[in-house]
Structure 1
């Protein structure tokens, strides 16, 4: 199939500045930002040099490893040491009793061929109790090594992965392991994802502004990217008050394509998130964007921005959160996996941590069950090799 050449994208100065600030002010790496926003590293590094030149050559400050990253490094070192110790023990057993070791292996092979353990041990003239003891020693040694891997993956996920995602992540590292064994090792290692739930209302539908029809109608699985987006606003508690977050998601890959944060909820907040998404994705006219019927989304300023880019507006029915369930689910994940585990002292600290969750973890790493346990970035790269389309088959 012929793939159309990708059109050259143009970015305005405001978008370039936002990307540079993600790296310089919010502590994100260039690679994470590029993978999440589908940008080239060369382009972003050039924008950073231009930004530095405008500041009269002021040097950046490197970022040290976080406690979480230090813990992962420590677990990886422990894993290497355990592998070396395990290899040494295997060599020692082979030198001390090679015949018995080979007999145990043969019993294991015969057992897989439906030969009873008792019969195999009698034929090889070895103790059945000795075989089971040998097998338990090997299982315990394997559990120790696997638990180190398990803890490393669990820590890297921000202590949020359950048994299903841990199985997928460990299998991706080449470990043959099932869910029941992972659950047992989690219990033994006391690995428990813990979260608590809070609520505050952010939608004000008590207004006389025009309301759009529910064109999305809960069709949450478009066939291609940039056919249907969803948007919403949530809140984040800080010691010094509240921080509000507006997000735009592409339903095809569940990727967050635009976001903005501010200490209040004006229309400019959702407009900034939408402008970032449009700059990044360059959708064709006819894109469907669904939201609730809050006053910000019904405002003349927001509706004019939709018209400017040829975007069709869709709104949930009154009091029906299920019409925007995918967006609500993302906010729950964000708070379970990151926000409720933190105590943000100020707005800057909250913005850096939330941007890190979106760009580095959620878009680039987090395994999404709806996407076959792939991250949104990996899913798009794997599934999308399609030329530009018209909107004749839109939702």
Structure 2
């Protein structure tokens, strides 16, 4: 079981871009917290090995199948009627707390799945020298220091949601069957004593068949997403990562970008501008100066990034996205940069907007922000652009 692509990418970014913060967080790992243990003893009933041998046997089996060997203590929370299971993690210890009637709701296989899920959190925190724990604490700290809701807030949210996806995969690794994993999830969410897993997967399919369905949860993805994501993982679906990104991240949109989305939009913007400035006639000193305000290392004639090119070598935008207005104003910025180039830049921008399938948004921006009329826009869109394309 490998970390999710999302966790790998975020940790790679943080370790590369914030090495001092990374090392500072790494040095803060708590080896042992006596106050946590005392708090748990005061507020729960501890489920001893002698009185709850089956539960402890399930812990031992889950730990073996996950390849870990933590010290594990089990507890039943007091004064909490809502079904739930949570894990509190120290360096070499895990405290699993059951709340509400979970132990009565779930059968043995479902309890095994829940314990596997919780211990998968511990396994992720321990692997690779605690790398993914460090990443989690760092994005949470950056989000807490952020003014308003920005890229670190969205990064922390998605990091947590992908952790739940990872832990569900851990439950599957322990059980080797998605049925108890999904049944336990739905039972805890609903309080039902009986759940038909196939019916719930069909329900999830009906929801996800609607275009644009994205997780609306604050931390844990919604149950129908988790159930279908686990089914895809168990089936070894080749498009699992891409499908998960659609469900958890949603459309690439300026208002909801996480740090990875921000990096991608910056790279995509550069590819769009490179496509616009491909012709040598467009590379006047004024235009080059504007490009250097976007990226100080931008070079005249540089090609778009290969990953942003379609089958015919033209820039294509990823789907789904909500970048029409943003990219329209980027194009307009360059189309109006150098009046000495006369009409050609606007004609080139109109034709690129059409190629990118953002023509309507760009035309609205042109009509609002310039003195051009609709007849002039139509004429420029049909203009023949010089084809002396230069590639280094």
TM-score bracket, shorter-length normalisation: under 0.3
Counting helix residues as a fraction of each chain, which structure ranks higher?
2
RCO greater where, 1 or 2, for CA within 8 Å and sep 6 or more?
1
Q: TM-score, normalised by structure 1?
A: 0.24
Q: TM-score, normalised by structure 2?
A: 0.24
